Chains A and B, each alone.
Chain A
Protein backbone atom coordinates (compact mmCIF):
# COMPACT_ATOMS: atom_id res chain seq x y z
CA UNK A 1 0.00 0.00 0.00
CA UNK A 2 1.43 3.39 -0.95
CA UNK A 3 1.08 6.56 1.13
CA UNK A 4 -1.84 7.94 -0.88
CA UNK A 5 -3.79 4.76 -0.23
CA UNK A 6 -3.08 4.66 3.48
CA UNK A 7 -4.09 8.35 3.60
CA UNK A 8 -7.34 7.50 1.85
CA UNK A 9 -8.16 4.39 3.81
CA UNK A 10 -7.16 5.55 7.30
CA UNK A 11 -7.78 3.20 10.21
CA UNK A 12 -10.73 5.24 11.42
CA UNK A 13 -12.36 5.03 7.98
CA UNK A 14 -11.85 1.28 7.64
CA UNK A 15 -13.16 0.77 11.16
CA UNK A 16 -16.30 2.86 10.61
CA UNK A 17 -16.92 1.15 7.26
CA UNK A 18 -16.78 -2.24 8.96
CA UNK A 19 -18.80 -1.25 12.02
CA UNK A 20 -20.86 1.77 11.04
CA UNK A 21 -22.39 3.80 13.90
CA UNK A 22 -26.03 4.89 13.87
CA UNK A 23 -26.70 2.35 11.13
CA UNK A 24 -30.44 1.98 11.67
CA UNK A 25 -33.80 3.53 10.95
CA UNK A 26 -34.96 6.20 13.43
CA UNK A 27 -38.67 5.48 13.80
CA UNK A 28 -39.41 8.95 15.18
CA UNK A 29 -37.36 10.80 12.55
CA UNK A 30 -39.04 13.97 11.35
CA UNK A 31 -36.54 14.62 8.56
CA UNK A 32 -35.52 11.99 6.04
CA UNK A 33 -33.32 12.61 3.02
CA UNK A 34 -32.19 10.25 0.30
CA UNK A 35 -28.77 10.54 -1.35
CA UNK A 36 -27.70 8.57 -4.41
CA UNK A 37 -24.67 8.44 -6.64
CA UNK A 38 -26.02 7.02 -9.91
CA UNK A 39 -22.49 6.53 -11.17
CA UNK A 40 -21.63 3.83 -8.66
CA UNK A 41 -24.97 2.97 -7.11
CA UNK A 42 -24.15 4.33 -3.64
CA UNK A 43 -27.46 4.83 -1.95
CA UNK A 44 -28.09 6.25 1.54
CA UNK A 45 -31.01 7.51 3.57
CA UNK A 46 -30.23 9.94 6.39
CA UNK A 47 -32.76 10.12 9.26
CA UNK A 48 -32.87 13.08 11.62
CA UNK A 49 -34.89 13.89 14.69
CA UNK A 50 -34.95 17.68 14.76
CA UNK A 51 -36.18 19.74 17.64
CA UNK A 52 -36.71 23.16 16.11
CA UNK A 53 -33.34 24.03 14.65
CA UNK A 54 -31.34 21.41 16.54
CA UNK A 55 -30.47 17.86 15.48
CA UNK A 56 -31.40 15.67 18.44
CA UNK A 57 -30.65 12.34 16.81
CA UNK A 58 -29.27 11.10 13.51
CA UNK A 59 -28.95 7.76 11.77
CA UNK A 60 -28.53 6.30 8.31
CA UNK A 61 -29.29 3.26 6.20
CA UNK A 62 -28.09 2.18 2.79
CA UNK A 63 -25.11 0.76 1.02
CA UNK A 64 -22.00 1.81 -0.80
CA UNK A 65 -18.23 1.79 -0.68
CA UNK A 66 -16.03 2.06 2.42
CA UNK A 67 -15.54 5.82 1.98
CA UNK A 68 -19.23 6.63 1.66
CA UNK A 69 -20.27 4.34 4.51
CA UNK A 70 -17.59 5.62 6.90
CA UNK A 71 -18.52 9.17 5.94
CA UNK A 72 -22.19 8.58 6.77
CA UNK A 73 -21.20 6.91 10.03
CA UNK A 74 -18.99 9.81 11.15
CA UNK A 75 -21.48 12.36 9.87
CA UNK A 76 -24.34 10.99 11.95
CA UNK A 77 -22.05 10.77 14.99
CA UNK A 78 -20.86 14.36 14.54
CA UNK A 79 -24.06 16.30 13.89
CA UNK A 80 -26.03 15.19 16.94
CA UNK A 81 -26.72 18.28 19.04
CA UNK A 82 -25.73 20.70 16.29
CA UNK A 83 -27.96 23.42 14.87
CA UNK A 84 -28.91 23.68 11.22
CA UNK A 85 -26.42 26.55 10.78
CA UNK A 86 -23.65 24.50 12.39
CA UNK A 87 -24.37 21.50 10.15
CA UNK A 88 -24.29 23.75 7.09
CA UNK A 89 -21.00 25.30 8.19
CA UNK A 90 -19.58 21.82 8.78
CA UNK A 91 -20.72 20.76 5.30
CA UNK A 92 -18.72 23.65 3.86
CA UNK A 93 -15.58 22.63 5.76
CA UNK A 94 -15.91 18.96 4.82
CA UNK A 95 -16.48 19.89 1.19
CA UNK A 96 -13.41 22.11 1.27
CA UNK A 97 -11.35 19.34 2.89
CA UNK A 98 -12.24 16.55 0.46
CA UNK A 99 -11.57 18.77 -2.55
CA UNK A 100 -8.42 20.57 -1.39
CA UNK A 101 -6.98 18.40 1.39
CA UNK A 102 -7.09 21.31 3.84
CA UNK A 103 -8.67 20.11 7.11
CA UNK A 104 -9.92 22.82 9.44
CA UNK A 105 -8.87 22.15 13.04
CA UNK A 106 -12.50 22.08 14.16
CA UNK A 107 -13.18 18.97 12.04
CA UNK A 108 -11.76 16.54 14.60
CA UNK A 109 -12.19 12.92 13.51
CA UNK A 110 -13.65 14.05 10.20
CA UNK A 111 -10.12 15.11 9.22
CA UNK A 112 -9.60 11.43 8.35
CA UNK A 113 -11.22 12.22 5.00
CA UNK A 114 -8.57 14.75 3.95
CA UNK A 115 -6.79 12.05 1.90
CA UNK A 116 -9.80 11.80 -0.40
CA UNK A 117 -8.74 14.92 -2.30
CA UNK A 118 -5.99 12.96 -4.07
CA UNK A 119 -8.68 10.69 -5.55
CA UNK A 120 -11.00 12.98 -7.53
CA UNK A 121 -13.22 10.04 -8.52
CA UNK A 122 -13.93 9.37 -4.83
CA UNK A 123 -14.84 12.89 -3.64
CA UNK A 124 -18.50 12.19 -4.35
CA UNK A 125 -18.37 9.09 -2.15
CA UNK A 126 -17.18 11.13 0.82
CA UNK A 127 -19.63 13.98 0.35
CA UNK A 128 -22.78 12.02 -0.56
CA UNK A 129 -24.31 11.63 2.92
CA UNK A 130 -23.36 15.24 3.70
CA UNK A 131 -25.51 16.40 0.78
CA UNK A 132 -28.37 14.33 2.15
CA UNK A 133 -27.86 15.73 5.68
CA UNK A 134 -27.73 19.30 4.37
CA UNK A 135 -31.02 18.74 2.56
CA UNK A 136 -32.55 17.12 5.63
CA UNK A 137 -31.70 19.95 8.06
CA UNK A 138 -33.08 22.42 5.51
CA UNK A 139 -36.30 20.40 5.30
CA UNK A 140 -35.72 19.72 1.62
CA UNK A 141 -37.01 16.20 1.12
CA UNK A 142 -36.39 15.78 -2.62
CA UNK A 143 -33.76 13.08 -3.26
CA UNK A 144 -30.27 14.49 -3.72
CA UNK A 145 -27.83 13.14 -6.23
CA UNK A 146 -24.14 13.67 -6.77
CA UNK A 147 -24.71 13.80 -10.54
Chain B
Protein backbone atom coordinates (compact mmCIF):
# COMPACT_ATOMS: atom_id res chain seq x y z
CA UNK B 1 0.00 0.00 0.00
CA UNK B 2 1.43 3.43 -0.89
CA UNK B 3 2.50 5.44 2.13
CA UNK B 4 2.34 8.98 0.72
CA UNK B 5 -0.89 10.97 0.58
CA UNK B 6 -2.54 10.57 -2.82
CA UNK B 7 -2.88 13.58 -5.10
CA UNK B 8 -6.64 13.90 -4.65
CA UNK B 9 -7.00 16.55 -7.35
CA UNK B 10 -5.25 14.28 -9.86
CA UNK B 11 -7.54 11.40 -8.89
CA UNK B 12 -10.60 13.62 -9.28
CA UNK B 13 -9.44 14.46 -12.80
CA UNK B 14 -9.75 10.74 -13.62
CA UNK B 15 -13.55 11.10 -13.42
CA UNK B 16 -14.80 12.83 -16.58
CA UNK B 17 -18.42 12.96 -15.34
CA UNK B 18 -17.51 15.31 -12.48
CA UNK B 19 -16.44 18.03 -14.88
CA UNK B 20 -19.85 19.37 -15.93
CA UNK B 21 -22.48 21.99 -15.16
CA UNK B 22 -25.89 20.95 -13.85
CA UNK B 23 -28.70 23.53 -14.08
CA UNK B 24 -26.03 26.14 -14.79
CA UNK B 25 -23.85 25.32 -11.77
CA UNK B 26 -20.78 23.11 -11.37
CA UNK B 27 -21.87 19.59 -10.41
CA UNK B 28 -21.28 18.77 -6.74
CA UNK B 29 -21.90 15.04 -6.57
CA UNK B 30 -22.69 14.02 -2.98
CA UNK B 31 -24.71 10.86 -3.60
CA UNK B 32 -21.86 8.39 -3.41
CA UNK B 33 -23.58 6.06 -0.95
CA UNK B 34 -26.14 5.41 -3.70
CA UNK B 35 -23.56 4.90 -6.42
CA UNK B 36 -20.04 6.11 -7.12
CA UNK B 37 -18.73 7.62 -10.33
CA UNK B 38 -16.32 5.70 -12.59
CA UNK B 39 -12.72 6.60 -13.40
CA UNK B 40 -11.26 6.47 -16.91
CA UNK B 41 -9.30 3.36 -15.91
CA UNK B 42 -12.58 1.44 -15.52
CA UNK B 43 -14.24 2.97 -18.59
CA UNK B 44 -11.16 2.20 -20.68
CA UNK B 45 -11.02 -1.39 -19.44
CA UNK B 46 -14.65 -1.96 -20.43
CA UNK B 47 -14.03 -0.43 -23.84
CA UNK B 48 -10.90 -2.50 -24.39
CA UNK B 49 -12.70 -5.69 -23.38
CA UNK B 50 -15.55 -5.13 -25.84
CA UNK B 51 -13.27 -3.89 -28.62
CA UNK B 52 -10.60 -6.60 -28.32
CA UNK B 53 -11.40 -9.57 -26.08
CA UNK B 54 -15.17 -10.13 -25.91
CA UNK B 55 -16.18 -13.81 -25.97
CA UNK B 56 -18.02 -16.24 -23.73
CA UNK B 57 -16.01 -17.71 -20.88
CA UNK B 58 -14.89 -21.14 -19.69
CA UNK B 59 -15.73 -23.60 -22.46
CA UNK B 60 -14.26 -21.82 -25.42
CA UNK B 61 -11.29 -23.21 -27.31
CA UNK B 62 -10.54 -20.12 -29.34
CA UNK B 63 -8.22 -17.24 -28.51
CA UNK B 64 -10.81 -14.62 -27.56
CA UNK B 65 -12.57 -17.04 -25.23
CA UNK B 66 -9.25 -17.80 -23.56
CA UNK B 67 -8.58 -14.10 -23.10
CA UNK B 68 -12.07 -13.45 -21.70
CA UNK B 69 -11.80 -16.45 -19.37
CA UNK B 70 -8.37 -15.41 -18.13
CA UNK B 71 -9.52 -11.85 -17.51
CA UNK B 72 -12.70 -13.03 -15.74
CA UNK B 73 -10.79 -15.40 -13.46
CA UNK B 74 -8.11 -12.75 -12.84
CA UNK B 75 -10.93 -10.54 -11.54
CA UNK B 76 -11.87 -13.30 -9.10
CA UNK B 77 -8.25 -13.51 -7.90
CA UNK B 78 -8.20 -9.74 -7.51
CA UNK B 79 -11.46 -9.75 -5.52
CA UNK B 80 -10.03 -12.42 -3.20
CA UNK B 81 -6.96 -10.26 -2.52
CA UNK B 82 -9.11 -7.13 -2.18
CA UNK B 83 -10.83 -8.59 0.91
CA UNK B 84 -8.03 -10.99 1.91
CA UNK B 85 -10.00 -14.19 1.29
CA UNK B 86 -7.96 -17.37 1.70
CA UNK B 87 -8.73 -18.44 -1.85
CA UNK B 88 -10.44 -17.20 -5.00
CA UNK B 89 -12.70 -20.26 -4.66
CA UNK B 90 -14.42 -18.33 -1.89
CA UNK B 91 -15.39 -15.55 -4.33
CA UNK B 92 -18.78 -15.78 -6.07
CA UNK B 93 -19.68 -13.15 -8.63
CA UNK B 94 -23.21 -11.82 -8.20
CA UNK B 95 -25.26 -8.91 -9.53
CA UNK B 96 -24.58 -6.99 -6.35
CA UNK B 97 -24.94 -6.99 -2.57
CA UNK B 98 -28.65 -7.73 -2.78
CA UNK B 99 -28.17 -10.86 -4.87
CA UNK B 100 -25.32 -11.99 -2.61
CA UNK B 101 -27.56 -11.83 0.46
CA UNK B 102 -30.42 -13.52 -1.40
CA UNK B 103 -28.03 -16.27 -2.45
CA UNK B 104 -27.08 -16.94 1.18
CA UNK B 105 -30.71 -16.79 2.32
CA UNK B 106 -31.77 -19.28 -0.36
CA UNK B 107 -28.86 -21.69 -0.60
CA UNK B 108 -27.50 -21.69 2.96
CA UNK B 109 -30.62 -20.52 4.83
CA UNK B 110 -32.92 -22.77 2.84
CA UNK B 111 -30.93 -25.81 3.90
CA UNK B 112 -29.91 -24.97 7.46
CA UNK B 113 -32.59 -22.77 9.00
CA UNK B 114 -35.62 -24.42 10.56
CA UNK B 115 -38.78 -23.38 12.40
CA UNK B 116 -37.90 -21.81 15.74
CA UNK B 117 -34.43 -20.68 14.65
CA UNK B 118 -33.66 -16.98 14.99
CA UNK B 119 -31.97 -14.65 12.50
CA UNK B 120 -30.40 -11.71 14.36
CA UNK B 121 -30.27 -8.45 12.39
CA UNK B 122 -29.86 -4.84 13.49
CA UNK B 123 -32.28 -1.91 13.31
CA UNK B 124 -30.00 -0.08 10.87
CA UNK B 125 -30.09 -2.69 8.10
CA UNK B 126 -30.82 -1.78 4.50
CA UNK B 127 -33.93 -3.44 3.04
CA UNK B 128 -31.58 -5.78 1.17
CA UNK B 129 -30.47 -7.23 4.50
CA UNK B 130 -34.01 -7.52 5.86
CA UNK B 131 -36.37 -8.62 3.11
CA UNK B 132 -34.43 -11.77 2.01
CA UNK B 133 -34.52 -12.94 5.65
CA UNK B 134 -38.23 -12.18 5.96
CA UNK B 135 -38.85 -14.29 2.86
CA UNK B 136 -36.71 -17.06 4.34
CA UNK B 137 -38.56 -16.76 7.66
CA UNK B 138 -41.89 -17.18 5.87
CA UNK B 139 -40.64 -20.34 4.16
CA UNK B 140 -38.80 -21.89 7.09
CA UNK B 141 -40.67 -20.71 10.17
CA UNK B 142 -37.52 -19.01 11.47
CA UNK B 143 -37.94 -15.70 13.30
CA UNK B 144 -36.25 -12.32 12.99
CA UNK B 145 -34.81 -10.40 15.91
CA UNK B 146 -33.10 -7.00 15.88
CA UNK B 147 -30.21 -5.46 17.81
CA UNK B 148 -31.57 -1.99 18.72
CA UNK B 149 -29.82 1.31 18.07
CA UNK B 150 -29.24 4.13 20.54
CA UNK B 151 -31.53 6.86 19.17
CA UNK B 152 -30.35 9.54 16.75
CA UNK B 153 -26.69 8.82 17.40
CA UNK B 154 -27.28 5.48 15.76
CA UNK B 155 -24.85 3.18 17.52
CA UNK B 156 -25.70 -0.46 18.12
CA UNK B 157 -26.90 -0.91 21.69
CA UNK B 158 -24.36 -3.61 22.48
CA UNK B 159 -25.38 -3.76 26.15
CA UNK B 160 -28.43 -5.66 24.90
CA UNK B 161 -26.44 -8.06 22.75
CA UNK B 162 -25.92 -10.88 25.22
CA UNK B 163 -29.61 -11.16 26.01
CA UNK B 164 -30.38 -11.32 22.27
CA UNK B 165 -27.79 -14.01 21.49
CA UNK B 166 -29.85 -16.92 22.76
CA UNK B 167 -29.26 -20.49 21.64
CA UNK B 168 -31.99 -20.19 18.96
CA UNK B 169 -29.89 -17.67 17.01
CA UNK B 170 -28.36 -19.38 13.98
CA UNK B 171 -27.35 -16.35 11.92
CA UNK B 172 -26.11 -12.84 12.64
CA UNK B 173 -26.40 -10.57 9.58
CA UNK B 174 -25.36 -6.94 9.90
CA UNK B 175 -24.05 -4.01 7.97
CA UNK B 176 -20.45 -2.87 8.29
CA UNK B 177 -21.33 0.80 7.68
CA UNK B 178 -24.87 2.19 7.87
CA UNK B 179 -25.90 3.89 4.63
CA UNK B 180 -28.10 6.35 6.56
CA UNK B 181 -26.31 6.90 9.86
CA UNK B 182 -22.68 6.55 8.81
CA UNK B 183 -22.10 4.31 11.81
CA UNK B 184 -19.11 1.98 11.53
CA UNK B 185 -20.08 -1.21 13.32
CA UNK B 186 -17.51 -3.32 15.23
CA UNK B 187 -18.02 -6.26 12.88
CA UNK B 188 -14.88 -8.17 13.88
CA UNK B 189 -15.89 -8.11 17.54
CA UNK B 190 -19.47 -9.17 16.76
CA UNK B 191 -18.53 -11.91 14.31
CA UNK B 192 -15.99 -13.30 16.80
CA UNK B 193 -18.70 -13.41 19.44
CA UNK B 194 -21.07 -15.12 17.02
CA UNK B 195 -18.44 -17.67 16.09
CA UNK B 196 -17.78 -18.70 19.69
CA UNK B 197 -21.52 -19.37 20.01
CA UNK B 198 -21.64 -21.39 16.78
CA UNK B 199 -23.60 -18.65 15.01
CA UNK B 200 -22.96 -18.08 11.31
CA UNK B 201 -22.30 -14.44 10.39
CA UNK B 202 -22.88 -12.29 7.31
CA UNK B 203 -21.53 -8.78 6.76
CA UNK B 204 -23.11 -6.31 4.33
CA UNK B 205 -20.02 -4.46 3.11
CA UNK B 206 -21.77 -2.38 0.42
CA UNK B 207 -20.84 0.91 2.12
CA UNK B 208 -17.46 -0.14 3.46
CA UNK B 209 -15.40 -2.18 1.04
CA UNK B 210 -14.61 0.68 -1.34
CA UNK B 211 -13.92 3.13 1.47
CA UNK B 212 -11.64 1.30 3.89
CA UNK B 213 -9.48 -1.82 3.94
CA UNK B 214 -11.64 -4.90 4.53
CA UNK B 215 -10.12 -8.21 5.61
CA UNK B 216 -12.57 -11.12 5.85
CA UNK B 217 -10.09 -13.18 7.87
CA UNK B 218 -9.64 -10.40 10.42
CA UNK B 219 -13.41 -9.84 10.56
CA UNK B 220 -13.97 -13.57 10.85
CA UNK B 221 -17.31 -13.58 9.07
CA UNK B 222 -18.75 -16.52 7.16
CA UNK B 223 -20.24 -14.39 4.41
CA UNK B 224 -19.58 -10.87 3.14
CA UNK B 225 -21.35 -9.18 0.25
CA UNK B 226 -20.60 -6.06 -1.75
CA UNK B 227 -21.48 -4.28 -5.00
CA UNK B 228 -19.18 -3.08 -7.76
CA UNK B 229 -21.03 0.10 -8.63
CA UNK B 230 -20.48 1.73 -5.23
CA UNK B 231 -16.72 1.27 -5.48
CA UNK B 232 -16.01 2.82 -8.89
CA UNK B 233 -16.97 -0.34 -10.81
CA UNK B 234 -19.84 -1.01 -13.21
CA UNK B 235 -23.45 -1.70 -12.18
CA UNK B 236 -24.72 -5.27 -12.23
CA UNK B 237 -21.63 -6.88 -10.72
CA UNK B 238 -20.95 -7.74 -7.11
CA UNK B 239 -19.11 -10.19 -4.95
CA UNK B 240 -20.21 -12.65 -2.33
CA UNK B 241 -17.42 -13.97 -0.16
CA UNK B 242 -18.29 -17.27 1.47
CA UNK B 243 -15.99 -19.16 3.82
CA UNK B 244 -14.93 -22.48 2.26
CA UNK B 245 -16.54 -24.58 5.02
CA UNK B 246 -19.90 -22.91 4.37
CA UNK B 247 -19.64 -23.38 0.61
CA UNK B 248 -18.78 -27.06 0.92
CA UNK B 249 -22.26 -28.10 2.00
CA UNK B 250 -24.34 -25.37 0.34
CA UNK B 251 -26.68 -26.53 -2.44
CA UNK B 252 -26.74 -24.56 -5.72
CA UNK B 253 -28.62 -21.25 -5.88
CA UNK B 254 -29.71 -21.23 -9.50
CA UNK B 255 -29.43 -24.00 -12.07
CA UNK B 256 -28.22 -23.72 -15.63
CA UNK B 257 -25.09 -23.66 -17.70
CA UNK B 258 -21.64 -22.88 -16.27
CA UNK B 259 -22.41 -24.48 -12.90
CA UNK B 260 -22.55 -28.16 -13.94
CA UNK B 261 -20.11 -31.03 -14.47
CA UNK B 262 -22.47 -33.47 -16.18
CA UNK B 263 -26.15 -33.24 -17.00
CA UNK B 264 -28.28 -36.29 -17.76
CA UNK B 265 -32.02 -36.26 -18.38
CA UNK B 266 -32.79 -36.87 -14.71
CA UNK B 267 -29.61 -36.12 -12.80
CA UNK B 268 -26.98 -33.39 -12.74
CA UNK B 269 -23.66 -33.13 -10.95
CA UNK B 270 -22.41 -29.70 -10.01
CA UNK B 271 -19.09 -27.93 -10.12
CA UNK B 272 -17.20 -27.05 -7.00
CA UNK B 273 -17.67 -23.64 -5.47
CA UNK B 274 -17.51 -20.87 -6.50
CA UNK B 275 -18.67 -21.82 -10.01
CA UNK B 276 -21.50 -23.94 -8.59
CA UNK B 277 -23.18 -20.65 -7.65
CA UNK B 278 -22.73 -18.93 -11.00
CA UNK B 279 -25.34 -20.31 -13.36
CA UNK B 280 -25.49 -18.97 -16.89
CA UNK B 281 -23.13 -16.64 -18.73
CA UNK B 282 -21.82 -14.33 -16.03
CA UNK B 283 -21.39 -10.56 -16.17
CA UNK B 284 -17.94 -10.91 -17.74
CA UNK B 285 -17.32 -7.28 -18.57
CA UNK B 286 -18.67 -6.28 -15.16
CA UNK B 287 -16.15 -8.49 -13.36
CA UNK B 288 -13.31 -7.19 -15.52
CA UNK B 289 -14.41 -3.60 -14.93
CA UNK B 290 -14.61 -4.31 -11.20
CA UNK B 291 -11.06 -5.63 -11.33
CA UNK B 292 -9.92 -2.29 -12.76
CA UNK B 293 -11.88 -0.46 -10.04
CA UNK B 294 -10.33 -2.51 -7.23
CA UNK B 295 -6.84 -1.94 -8.64
CA UNK B 296 -7.59 1.78 -8.89
CA UNK B 297 -8.74 2.03 -5.27
CA UNK B 298 -5.80 0.10 -3.91
CA UNK B 299 -3.36 2.19 -5.93
CA UNK B 300 -4.73 5.20 -4.03
CA UNK B 301 -4.93 3.23 -0.78
CA UNK B 302 -8.22 2.54 0.96
CA UNK B 303 -6.80 3.59 4.33
CA UNK B 304 -6.09 7.03 2.82
CA UNK B 305 -9.51 7.11 1.17
CA UNK B 306 -11.21 6.43 4.48
CA UNK B 307 -9.26 9.19 6.23
CA UNK B 308 -10.25 11.59 3.43
CA UNK B 309 -13.96 10.55 3.53
CA UNK B 310 -14.05 10.83 7.30
CA UNK B 311 -12.43 14.27 7.29
CA UNK B 312 -15.03 15.56 4.80
CA UNK B 313 -17.91 14.03 6.78
CA UNK B 314 -16.58 15.43 10.05
CA UNK B 315 -16.17 18.87 8.48
CA UNK B 316 -19.72 18.69 7.05
CA UNK B 317 -21.01 17.62 10.45
CA UNK B 318 -19.30 20.55 12.17
CA UNK B 319 -20.76 23.00 9.64
CA UNK B 320 -24.23 21.45 9.94
CA UNK B 321 -24.20 21.69 13.74
CA UNK B 322 -24.07 25.49 13.31
CA UNK B 323 -27.53 25.50 11.67
CA UNK B 324 -30.59 26.32 13.73
CA UNK B 325 -33.53 23.91 13.60
CA UNK B 326 -31.45 21.01 12.35
CA UNK B 327 -31.51 17.39 13.42
CA UNK B 328 -28.41 15.35 12.53
CA UNK B 329 -28.35 11.57 12.57
CA UNK B 330 -25.46 9.24 13.25
CA UNK B 331 -22.44 9.25 15.54
CA UNK B 332 -20.89 12.53 16.66
CA UNK B 333 -17.38 11.21 16.10
CA UNK B 334 -15.83 8.46 14.02
CA UNK B 335 -18.55 8.53 11.37
CA UNK B 336 -17.94 7.16 7.89
CA UNK B 337 -18.09 9.51 4.90
CA UNK B 338 -21.73 10.53 5.01
CA UNK B 339 -24.14 12.64 7.00
CA UNK B 340 -27.94 12.49 7.22
CA UNK B 341 -29.97 15.37 8.54
CA UNK B 342 -33.33 17.14 8.57
CA UNK B 343 -34.11 20.85 8.61
CA UNK B 344 -37.20 21.60 10.65
CA UNK B 345 -40.19 22.39 8.41
CA UNK B 346 -38.29 21.55 5.21
CA UNK B 347 -39.13 18.14 3.84
CA UNK B 348 -36.11 16.21 2.56
CA UNK B 349 -37.60 16.00 -0.94
CA UNK B 350 -38.06 19.75 -1.18
CA UNK B 351 -34.53 20.25 0.09
CA UNK B 352 -33.07 17.84 -2.47
CA UNK B 353 -35.11 19.33 -5.32
CA UNK B 354 -33.80 22.82 -4.57
CA UNK B 355 -30.21 21.64 -4.00
CA UNK B 356 -30.31 19.95 -7.41
CA UNK B 357 -31.17 23.26 -9.05
CA UNK B 358 -27.89 24.55 -7.61
CA UNK B 359 -26.00 21.57 -9.05
CA UNK B 360 -25.70 19.80 -5.69
CA UNK B 361 -26.72 16.12 -5.93
CA UNK B 362 -28.02 14.86 -2.58
CA UNK B 363 -30.42 12.09 -1.67
CA UNK B 364 -33.67 12.52 0.22
CA UNK B 365 -35.94 9.73 1.31
CA UNK B 366 -35.94 6.62 3.43
CA UNK B 367 -32.66 5.34 1.89
CA UNK B 368 -34.11 1.78 1.80
CA UNK B 369 -34.19 1.98 5.61
CA UNK B 370 -37.91 2.19 6.35
CA UNK B 371 -37.72 0.28 9.67
CA UNK B 372 -34.87 2.58 10.79
CA UNK B 373 -36.91 5.65 9.77
CA UNK B 374 -39.78 4.34 11.90
CA UNK B 375 -37.40 3.83 14.82
CA UNK B 376 -36.07 7.40 14.44
CA UNK B 377 -39.63 8.69 14.11
CA UNK B 378 -39.07 10.35 10.72
CA UNK B 379 -40.35 9.66 7.21
CA UNK B 380 -37.16 10.57 5.47
CA UNK B 381 -33.83 12.32 5.81
CA UNK B 382 -31.58 14.26 3.48
CA UNK B 383 -28.13 12.77 3.00
CA UNK B 384 -24.79 13.95 1.70
CA UNK B 385 -22.32 11.12 1.07
CA UNK B 386 -18.69 11.64 0.12
CA UNK B 387 -15.92 9.88 -1.74
CA UNK B 388 -12.26 10.55 -2.31
CA UNK B 389 -12.90 12.81 -5.32
CA UNK B 390 -15.01 15.23 -3.25
CA UNK B 391 -13.36 18.33 -1.86
CA UNK B 392 -13.66 20.60 1.14
CA UNK B 393 -14.82 23.41 -1.13
CA UNK B 394 -17.67 21.16 -2.31
CA UNK B 395 -18.72 20.76 1.32
CA UNK B 396 -18.64 24.56 1.62
CA UNK B 397 -20.81 24.86 -1.48
CA UNK B 398 -23.27 22.30 -0.07
CA UNK B 399 -23.49 24.28 3.18
CA UNK B 400 -23.96 27.58 1.31
CA UNK B 401 -26.81 26.06 -0.74
CA UNK B 402 -28.36 24.63 2.42
CA UNK B 403 -28.35 28.11 3.98
CA UNK B 404 -30.19 29.40 0.89
CA UNK B 405 -32.72 26.59 1.18
CA UNK B 406 -33.41 27.30 4.84
CA UNK B 407 -33.89 30.96 4.03
CA UNK B 408 -36.19 30.19 1.08
CA UNK B 409 -38.50 27.96 3.10
CA UNK B 410 -38.41 30.41 6.01
CA UNK B 411 -37.59 27.56 8.32
Tell me the A residues contacting B by CB distance below 8 Å. 1-2, 4-5, 8-9, 14, 18, 39-43, 63-67, 119, 121-122, 125
The distance in angstroms between the C-alpha atoms of A64 and B24, with both chains bound, is 29
Main secondary structure of the interface of B (DSSP, over half): mixed
Main secondary structure of the interface of A (DSSP, over half): mixed
A1 and chain B: residue at smallest CB distance: B408
Q: For the complex, is B379 an interface residue (Cβ under 8 Å from A)?
A: yes
Residues of B with C-beta under 8 A to A8: 353
Residues of B with C-beta under 8 A to A122: 349, 353
Instruction: Select which of B353, B379, B404, B409 is within 8 A of A64 by beta carbon.
Output: B379
The distance in angstroms between the C-alpha atoms of A28 and B364, with both chains bound, is 36
Interface size class of B (residues with CB under 8 A): 20 to 34
Residues of B with C-beta under 8 A to A119: 353
Instruction: Select which of B347, B354, B366 is within 8 A of A5 by beta carbon.
Output: B354
Residues of A with C-beta under 8 A to B409: 14, 66
Selected A-B contacts with CB under 8 Å, 20 pairs: A1-B357, A1-B404, A4-B23, A5-B353, A5-B357, A9-B350, A18-B410, A39-B365, A40-B348, A40-B364, A41-B365, A41-B380, A64-B379, A65-B347, A65-B349, A66-B347, A66-B409, A119-B353, A121-B353, A122-B349
* Least CB distance, B12 to chain A, in whole angstroms: 27
Q: For the complex, is B147 an interface residue (Cβ under 8 Å from A)?
A: no
Instruction: Evaluate contact between A4 and B357: CB separation under 8 angstroms.
Output: yes
Residues of A with C-beta under 8 A to B410: 14, 18
A8 and chain B: residue at smallest CB distance: B353
The distance in angstroms between the C-alpha atoms of A8 and B23, with both chains bound, is 15
Query: What 7 pairs between A and B have smallest CB-CB spacing?
Result: A65-B347, A41-B379, A65-B349, A66-B350, A65-B350, A5-B357, A41-B380
The distance in angstroms between the C-alpha atoms of A5 and B348, with both chains bound, is 16
Q: For the complex, is B396 an interface residue (Cβ under 8 Å from A)?
A: no
Residues of A with C-beta under 8 A to B24: 2
Additional 5 contacts, C-beta under 8 A, given A14-B410, A125-B349: A2-B357, A4-B23, A40-B348, A40-B364, A119-B353
